[in-house]
Amino acid sequence: MPIDILQLCPLMPSLEAELAKCYTVHRWFEMKDQAGFLKAHADKIRGAVTGGHIGIQMELAAQLPKLEIISINGVGYDKIDLNEARKRGYRVANTPDVLTADVADLALGLIIALARQLVRADHHVRAGNWTKGELGLGHRVSGRRYGIFGLGRIGQAIAKRLEAFDGHISYSGRRKLDVPYTFYPDINDLAANCDVLVVAAAASAETKHVVNADVLKALGPNGSLINIARGSLVDEAALIAALQNATIAGAGLDVFADEPRAPEALFGMKNVVLTPHVASATHETRQAMADLVLANLDAQFTGKPLPAAVV
């Protein structure tokens, strides 16, 4: 008899199709009577599949007495209470590594697009403004000072790519690593010593609003912010004020605090590049993520070690 799992958000169609082949899937996000469903079926649910952007509410997990695993389609697990998972004894798995290259690529894309005004340049041509005048000068990408907050898998992949641009790389994080980059224990010092600050750390209570008004002031009027991590790491009110007041030069943002809503104050700004959390959004990576979601579930239900266990 197929195992019952709870699907908490829409997923790639091919992943949904594979889940339907292997399990009895209950689509939580489409249910009109969620309380009624739990009353009738909560004790049948052995697994949950979710996205890193929503995780699972602790109140919901607490009502699933047979829950064995939460398989995340993504690398982030900040929306899941890991202490509760350990206490209750259910596993949490994610999809690390397979999306590292794509996220790092997008970070470079945002850096280049912002410095070389690619979005504005595209609009300049499409709007027929080229015949009326020049766009204006951008900034060089090669040879600049790049600071990376969070030198994990993704941060190191970004640094490797920046090396090819002759970037002068520094970083900040929990500890100094055996890497050929300058280490700053404090993010304020990191910001003060770079032209582009790249946010690549995991979201947690410790990193919430780690990029605040003081960090942006340290980054300075010639500095730019790139965020491909999570929106919660940046104080968006402080960022908007810094952009409006020319405290910093610009920002390239793929993530926001209240997705899918981005602050409307950013929309009219010419010194920002905005993308809708698409860092891992390639056919290749999304398929690899889907494969790992399925592998994590299969391992749990067949008594094998999880390929990508968080807890």
Residues 8 and 30: beta-carbon distance below 8 Å: no
Pair 16, 58 in one domain: yes
Domain count, the chain: 2
Do 195 and 146 touch, CB atoms closer than 8 A? yes
76 and 126 belong to one structural domain:
no
pLDDT of 213 reads 98
> Which of 91, 230, 236, 286 is labelled catalytic?
230
Tell whether 177 is covered by a domain.
Answer: yes
Q: Are residues 169 and 53 in the same domain?
A: no
Residue 310: inside a domain: no
**Domain-located, residue 308:** no
Q: Please tell me which residue in 53, 91, 144, 277 is annotated as part of the active site.
A: 277
Residue 311 lies in a domain: no
8 and 139 fall within a common domain: no
Question: What is the predicted pLDDT for the residue at 65?
Answer: 97
163 is an active site residue: no
Is 277 marked active-site?
A: yes
Q: What local confidence, expressed as pLDDT, does residue 218 receive?
A: 98
Q: 265 in a domain, yes or no?
A: yes
Contact indicator for 307, 297 with CB cutoff of 8 Å: no
| pLDDT on residue 253 | 98
Pair 23, 90 in one domain: yes
Same domain for 28 and 175?
Answer: no
**Helix ranges, 164-262 (H):** 187-192, 213-219, 236-244
The boundaries of the domain holding residue 229 are: 100-274
Q: What is the pLDDT of residues 133-188, one digit of tens each?
A: 999 999 999 999 999 999 999 999 999 999 999 999 999 999 999 999 999 999 99
Whether 306 maps to a domain, the answer reads no
The reply to whether 179 falls in a domain is: yes
The enclosing domain of 148 has a CATH number of 3.40.50.720
133 and 256, same domain (yes or no): yes
Q: What is the pLDDT at residue 53?
A: 87
Q: Is residue 50 located within the same domain as residue 75?
A: yes
pLDDT confidence of residue 102: 97
Q: Is the pLDDT of residue 116 over 90?
A: yes
Dump pLDDT digits (tens) for 64-103: 999 999 999 999 899 999 999 999 999 999 999 999 999 9
Average pLDDT, the chain: 97
HSE value, Cβ hemisphere, 13 Å, CA-based, for 127: 11
Residue 307 lies in a domain: no
The percent of residues in the chain predicted with pLDDT above 70, rounded, is: 100
Q: For 186-231, how does the pLDDT look when each residue is reduced to its tens digit (9 = 90+)? A: 999 999 999 999 999 999 999 999 999 999 999 999 999 999 999 9
Catalytic residue among 27, 123, 174, 259: 259
Confidence bin at 245 (pLDDT 50/70/90): very high
Kindly state whether residues 149 and 80 are assigned to the same domain.
no
Claim to verify: residue 77 and residue 125 sit in the same structural domain? no
Integer distance in angstroms from the first to the last C-alpha of the chain?
Answer: 27
DSSP structure string for 296-311? HHHHHHTTPPPTTB--
Query: The pTM is what?
Result: 0.93
Both 161 and 269 in one domain: the answer is yes
Residues 38 and 180 reside in one and the same domain: no
Interatomic CA distance for residues 230 and 92, integer angstroms? 19
- Report the pLDDT value the prediction gives residue 1, as an integer from 0 to 100: 83
